[in-house]
Structure 1
């Protein structure tokens, strides 16, 4: 029962990372809004998800994991209903912020509760099911979004969460045991500083790609304010007695490499997905379903390749497999940049999807092992949570930066105009993947780190966020 409940909840939260992307052109037609506002329909979710994830885990430790998990699930469900009912783009963005906050609570606590509920002898199988369901959410996001948008309406990509959430909330209350963790102090100042700082940076990047331009006072003030607040967050975390993210961990070269490699990978991948889905529908005039189906070689490939990549990681180590995956992603984006035109056939584009799909699988298969092996056992929980949060942050930054590159070089006036913007964005993504590959060369195993699960369920649990 615990495996089913937590896996389904994680599936919902993971699905909403990508399900909206294929629906963006339809949402624009229905609600209007600028390209900046379309970016926010995605980034509002990923940003609140990223910056509140570790705070959500701490709330569970403080007030009871089951109680906070159920509250987070109800918040996510209510926000899904609000998103489905939105009559304007601003209302949709606001609902996505709250939806991301709910996801930030339920994702880290879902594995905490699962780990505590399943006997050690059966834990491996339970976690395997949980991870497989999380992978299915990522693979199915664009396809589900396309099918639902075309055959029902865009509203139903959010409505489908509501009955599931209302059924799972009482099931979780009855079927999961209550527990608390050792971390009963909340880092509210740290959460506020990092949230506002990242918001300032992303807002500035999005405005720079829109009508404001890079030289406007609004953009410069937003970027400068964001940098100041992020710097203040770093200083606060160094002095806090209960930091949300201990800065001393970044003195570890391997830990820093895994975190920044993950951020750069998400930067390129999500930024390109944001643009390619619009290229398919707005330039090549595909239906939402056609776009979702044609993305399957990229999104579903990890389900086939990840087991092989995992075996190779065990044999030769995770670092070369992850670096190889990033190199394939860079090759896929570079291939698209060289060959894509407004009238490119799907066969011409297919090698890019295949390279990207295999690359993602090879990168993610060893990622959490590299994370765990970069720190001592006692720090593995916070390390896995940090890696997951950095990837969500990378997704938001990637969409903002690549869209800014796109709008400064092209636009939607014609197919050629779109390609004029898309190709430079692809080269930026390629450079990001190449840099990520170089960074991941430093993701090596610490001497003396033992590869064993922590006996503390709370520490095992934050690794949950790494599989979604």
Structure 2
């Protein structure tokens, strides 16, 4: 194996394993929540914060993690992120109280943000013109963990302890670091950014935390309950814009957004992940509403995951050679069509056939999107801003998901109550009967239309704005200094 291929493959395996750890902690912890509650007396609020602490810190530090990677070197930052994640996992596993558990989860989110953002940027730089193929392979490998992780987590929780769900991350992190260091290329170094914009990075973290928390919690706490967080978040966002326009070396150079293809790829990402996030949440909830068990409802995402494993590298390679427009536009249209198959599913007896049709088509549409859309958002950026580009793309995807879940959930609730007052505030109560159940089905129809509309909108945007041919020149020779109005001396 030649040196370049060795570096690429070791980097691929390291970033896939590290990212899988972060992804699994988003899902596996749900399996462990009941045992955590028994052990530490979390209560409902505590259980919610076990999830929220990780999700919010993950969102807040994506861009910061990418900026750190651009400053100290992507591989170095990736290793630091993995180590932070391992230390946080150990704190969480040994947590003697609810407060320490939640703090450990927040710390995990910081490490997870750094390692996932720099892993994508590292793949983009290491694989250069084959970024689509690399991200496809990365998606395929992490999808294996997505399928096998929750059952394995359930087995660990049931036979050993919930604490080992987190403790097992430590030896896996050691393997990840070893792979990452073994795959270091001879010419790798820091990408050369002169400064790390601590002010801008801090404002981003505060803004995303405040705004995301407000969106997630507004239905539970009401507007008055989240208003202080929203005000702080919006104020930080405004201050970030003002700071970016006057800072000498801002975390996101404004001119970066004028790089051809970058904004359009992130726009498609925002709309597409808004659709996918809503689908991920509402489909299992609706199947349980119709009478299926949580385990069976969770299995609906196995076919799309298998599709990612088998097809994501192929679609990524196609996008490298021919541009991302066709696979993303067709994949998004396929998902928009697939979701519409759920409209006739109104009872337990007929839901399985329509759900099977939906997820089977999604198994083709999803891999056509994931690798090409990520590569499209990263490839236009200069190498020394690859981390920031990756962080920006991760934030766009997550914020799109948060907004769509909140908005579509509100629409479902409005449709439900508009069909009558039933004394309950949820349209998908499995115990509902009669008119309340019919109203729940109608509310889900509204959800389906919203998700499908978003997917078709993403398809149209991809067809209009994304490249329809291979990028002939790479931006690797363009340095970030050329994108700053006041480059540092």
TM-score tier after normalising by the smaller chain length: 0.7 to 0.9
Tell me which residue corresponds to 2:267.
Answer: 260
Greater shift after overlay, 95-104 or 340-349? 340-349
Distance in 1 between the 2:371 and 2:118 partners? 22
Cα distance, 1:199 vs structure 2? 1.8
Cα distance, 1:345 vs structure 2? 4.2
Distance in 1 between the 2:319 and 2:176 partners? 36
Tell me which residue corresponds to 2:372.
Answer: 366
Q: Is there any run of 5+ residues in structure 1 with no aligned partner, and where?
A: 460-468
Greater shift after overlay, 70-79 or 32-41? 32-41
Is 1:135 the counterpart of 2:155? The answer is no
Distance in 1 between the 2:316 and 2:68 partners? 33
Cα distance, 1:6 vs structure 2? 5.8
User: Among 276, 281, 292, which residue is 1:274 paired with?
Assistant: 281
Structure 1 pair 46–66 and aligned structure 2 pair: CA distance change class (3 A): same
Structure 1 pair 245–411 and aligned structure 2 pair: CA distance change class (3 A): same
User: Among 21, 37, 49, which residue is 2:27 paired with?
Assistant: 21
Distance in 2 between the 1:412 and 1:139 partners? 31
Cα distance, 1:274 vs structure 2? 3.0
Structure 1 pair 67–321 and aligned structure 2 pair: CA distance change class (3 A): closer
Cα distance, 1:102 vs structure 2? 0.8
User: Among 174, 196, 199, which residue is 1:166 paired with?
Assistant: 174
Distance in 2 between the 1:87 and 1:405 partners? 41
Greater gyration radius: 2
Say what the alpha-carbon RMSD is for the aligned residues. Answer: 4.2
Cα distance, 1:280 vs structure 2? 5.4
Distance in 2 between the 1:430 and 1:376 partners? 34
Is 1:326 the counterpart of 2:332? The answer is yes
Cα distance, 1:63 vs structure 2? 4.5
Structure 1 pair 229–331 and aligned structure 2 pair: CA distance change class (3 A): farther
1:189-268 alignment, distance < 5 Å: 189-210=199-220, 212-213=221-222, 216-251=223-258, 254-268=261-275
Cα distance, 1:209 vs structure 2? 1.9
1:250-399 alignment, distance < 5 Å: 250-251=257-258, 254-278=261-285, 284=291, 286=293, 288=295, 290-310=296-316, 313=319, 317-341=323-347, 344-371=350-377, 382-399=388-405
Greater shift after overlay, 234-243 or 335-344? 335-344
TM-score, reference length from structure 1: 0.78
Distance in 2 between the 1:291 and 1:150 partners? 18
Tell me which residue corresponds to 2:451.
Answer: 429
Greater shift after overlay, 396-405 or 161-170? 396-405
Structure 1 pair 436–291 and aligned structure 2 pair: CA distance change class (3 A): same
Structure 1 pair 140–332 and aligned structure 2 pair: CA distance change class (3 A): farther
TM-score, reference length from structure 2: 0.75
Tell me if the contact between 1:271 and 1:402 (Cα under 8 Å) persists in the aligned partners. Answer: yes
1:84-163 alignment, distance < 5 Å: 84-85=93-94, 92-110=101-119, 131-150=136-155, 152-153=157-158, 155-163=163-171
Equivalent residues, number? 451
Distance in 1 between the 2:470 and 2:149 partners? 44
Cα distance, 1:236 vs structure 2? 1.8
Structure 1 pair 217–199 and aligned structure 2 pair: CA distance change class (3 A): same
